[in-house]
Chain A
Amino acid sequence: MENLFKELAQIVGPSYVSNQPEERFIYSRDPGTMEPREPDFVVLPATTDEVRKIVLLANRRKIPLVPMGGGLVLSGLSRALKGGIVLDMKRMNRILEVNEKSRYALVEAGTSQGMLQAYLKKNHPTLKHSVPDSPPMATIGGNVLIHGSGHLSHAAGFHSDMLNGMEVILPTGEVVKIGSCSTSPYWFGRAPLPDLAGLFLGWFGTTGVVTKLAIKLYPNRPYQDVGVFVTEDPELVPEVLYQAAGVQVAEDITAWMTPKPDWAKGFQHININYAADAPEELIWKRNLIRASLKGLISRKVGGFLPLPPPMKKNFLEAPQTTLAQFADVRKGGGFEYVGGIMPIDLFPRAYRAGIDIAARQGTTYSTGARIIGLGHCMMFFFAYPFNRADESDVDRARRALEETNREVLEMGGIPWKAEAPAQKQIIGRMDPHTLALINRVQSMLDPQGIMNPGNWEVR
């Protein structure tokens, strides 16, 4: 181990490697409910070549390697389940290129959401990327690789759909380019080549380490507005989502349901955010969205909430800071949620399941959904804040999360960025041929089994 420390220090410099207990403690956990797992080392590389050397070293020594972005995944995916090295990518945070006309940004994988957002605002104010509702230090790379979603997901799908290309270090040390960048100096997209991005998306770092990626950018329109449609019958919500999404003028459609404050209990709120280049266009879009929901409005079973300016301002924020406030509602900094990726038809069942599970487990609930594409599916979240200092509260949240994962699978959804135990639940339901293919791909790419072991463990 002493030799390994020295070898790592030779690669990244002594300031960027640690095996000290305080660092191992910090890197053993995230804000979710999963039990801590200490790594043996923490390393912060600064270049692709440093990453490549670390991978080769881990391969030679057969030591587990756990890539990590912002460490905010909440479901414990960057814990070192079998010890080894946590590869913290946050020093690789350079914004390498912004192609304005082709609307993409090439960044190193540790670039944070906040950095890119601020950079674009300052240097390319007409462009923006799809920001998730995580704290700004969450990384672009981490979020894309877990199939994240954000404020442009209605318009453009999962963040993995917005991926143009990647530079990846394979578990055996080769540096591979994925997408147009493999053949051209431009990072414009993944077509028309064989699409190898799927070998790394949704694999939780078990197939390689992504060091660079290019993502699509979108117009940052100067005029923005939001309508909050309110109903009190969850059965109506799929229709609301279907109609509002079908208009194709919104950027983001999200739902939120919470028992607090009291006035929100029992209602379903659907935020429809849209933007325009001119005030007239904004009104035109508003009218189209309203027209799509005219039937429900005229039946008086739903309508748009009159929004005082401060409330509207909050709803126009990206990311939503009120979510961060809710995350700490129990105090003590504990927060985790199940994000069930599922068809929008399942909204009523998911809504009721969230309320029932929270009641059974005696915990606070908050549910919501983000619409992906034109209502092609949604990420329905069941959030359970808890007080980390209160073990019984942590247990309650953990039980609620386990039950929610089961229920999501039972109703036909799939838990997103699933914790290791939930991955086992997913694997238990997976088509055996799919499972076998995953096994073959993992064995082919990572013959030593060093990459984030304990996740997607099918072998």
Chain B
Amino acid sequence: MNDLKFSGEICEKCETFDCLTRCQYLKMDLKTAKEERHRLLRGEESRVLEECVTCYACEEYCPYGNHPFYHLVDQQEKLGVWPVPQPITKQQVLMMAPRGKITPKKVQPPVINMCYFPMLTGSIRGKLFDGASTIVGSDIFCNVMWLHFGKNSVIRQRLPEMIANIWDHYLKDSGVNELICFHDECYGTYTHLAPAFGIPVPFKPIHIFDYLNKKLDELKDLIKPLGQKVAYQRSCSNRLVPETQPWVDEIFQKIGAERVDRKYDRENALCCGAVFRAQQQDDLADDVQKRNLDDMAAAGAKFCVFSCPACLFTLGEPILKRGIMPILMNDLCQIALGEGMKGG
């Protein structure tokens, strides 16, 4: 059921070994990468399975779109190489379980999928989201987070149900076909992960940046250029959809923000560190966060913009302590539109 579209043949023929040698965390030379690839393809234990920090980046690095990361997570689960202590994983699986309390409701476009972040529904306001409907909750949660826990089985089990919930309870009877994904993770799930696992998606996912870009075009007369230097914190799930990156530049250009040129951006982006803590690697989390924040500060950033709420929750406070304002992309756009932020 839901077999992964991963080809061992393609992987075996690959001469780049980008998935392993470009990894920012494994620090692997070509010779070791070759050895470990063989082990992985033979279904054997490998230090890659043990040491992978689950940053998703190899999905982006693979030149063939062969899903090396999804395969790796499948192997972790098959061999019981758990990235996170078992009680934590089990508890998280229970914590994020669908409550089964969804009730059908009519929605009108644009429909904003807030994933499982009910505390952020207040962000859907102002001219950018005029007339929007929001959907949110455990019963529409994309569940891609289990990639961090070696638990593709949970994704395979829950994701089809979540997709059906969105379609059957909200979109279908409302005659709506498009779903704006507020969180990178949802967009990555529906456009990248679901097809890789052969899970059909009956609606058209729209990335929040794509949506914002078009709205900013509509509202361009109202924009007051920010004239601010802004760092962008790329999320792990954005590795699944690197095609969204130019939209960040377009948005920044439209709102008069300067995307600061820094070391840890784009393909070289660093993880927010939350997952390292779940993996009990606080030292790594501290180190990565420090490097990332030093980099933002050195580049002169006044804002750090996020697309992932989980990254914002993780890095928000340390960033603020460095004198940089953490902010979601839509809130930054709202400032440019003169709508300000709540309470200010």
- Please list the residues of chain A having a beta carbon within 8 angstroms of any beta carbon in chain B: 230-232, 262-264, 267, 283, 286-287, 290, 297, 300-306, 308-309
5 A-B pairs with the lowest CB-CB distances in the bound complex, closest first? A303-B85, A263-B94, A263-B95, A306-B278, A232-B87
B90 close to chain A: CB less than 8 A: yes
Which chain B residue has the least Cβ–Cβ distance from A283? Answer: B286
* Other-chain contact of A267, B87, B277, B317 (Cβ < 8 Å): B87
- What CA separation (Å) do A290 and B90 show in the bound complex? 21
CB contacts under 8 Å to A, within B88-109, are 88, 90-91, 94-95, 97
Task: Encode contact with A along B146-163: 1 for CB under 8 Å, 0 otherwise.
Answer: 000000000000000000
With a CB–CB cut-off of 8 A, which chain B residues contact A297? 85, 280
Residue pair B87, A301 in contact (C-beta under 8 Å): yes
Chain B CB within 10 Å, residue with most, of A262, A301, A302, A305? A305
A293 and B282 CA atoms in complex are apart in Å by: 13
- In the complex, are the beta carbons of B317 and A309 less than 8 A apart? yes
Assess whether A263 is in contact with B282, with CB atoms less than 8 Å apart.
Answer: no
CB distance from B283 to the nearest CB of A (A): 7
Q: Is there an interface contact between B90 and A232, defined as CB atoms closer than 8 Å?
A: yes
Offer 5 A-B interface pairs, CB within 8 angstroms, sorted by A: A264-B91, A287-B282, A301-B85, A301-B87, A309-B313
Q: Is the CB of B84 closer than 8 A to any CB of chain A?
A: yes
A262-B94, A308-B313 known; A230 and B87 CB under 8 Å?
yes
- Chain A residues with CB under 8 Å of B91's CB are 230, 263-264, 267, 305
Residues on B with C-beta less than 8 A from A231 are 87
Residues from chain B with a CB closer than 8 A to the CB of A304 are: 88, 277, 280
Beta-carbon contact of A300 and B274 below 8 Å: no
B312 to chain A, nearest CB (A): 10
In the bound complex, CA of A40 to CA of B82 (Å): 66
Using Cβ atoms and an 8 Å threshold, which residues of chain B touch A305?
88, 91
Q: Are A300 and B313 in contact (CB under 8 A)?
A: no
- Sample of 9 further A-B pairs with CB below 8 A, known A232-B87, A303-B87, A304-B88: A232-B86, A263-B94, A263-B95, A264-B91, A283-B286, A297-B85, A300-B85, A302-B85, A303-B278
User: Bound complex: CA of A300 vs CA of B85, how far in Å?
Assistant: 4
**Chain A hits for B282, CB < 8 A:** 286-287, 290
* Complex-state Cα separation, A167 to B95, whole angstroms: 52
- CB <8 Å contact, B94 and A303: no
- Set of chain A residues within 8 Å of B87, measured between Cβ atoms: 230-232, 267, 301-303
Q: Which of B56-99 contact A (CB under 8 A)?
A: 82, 84-88, 90-91, 94-95, 97
Task: Give the Cβ gap from B100 to chain A, nearest Cβ, in Å.
Answer: 12
Q: B280 contacts A230, CB within 8 Å? A: no
Q: Which residues of B contact A302 (CB under 8 A)?
A: 85, 87
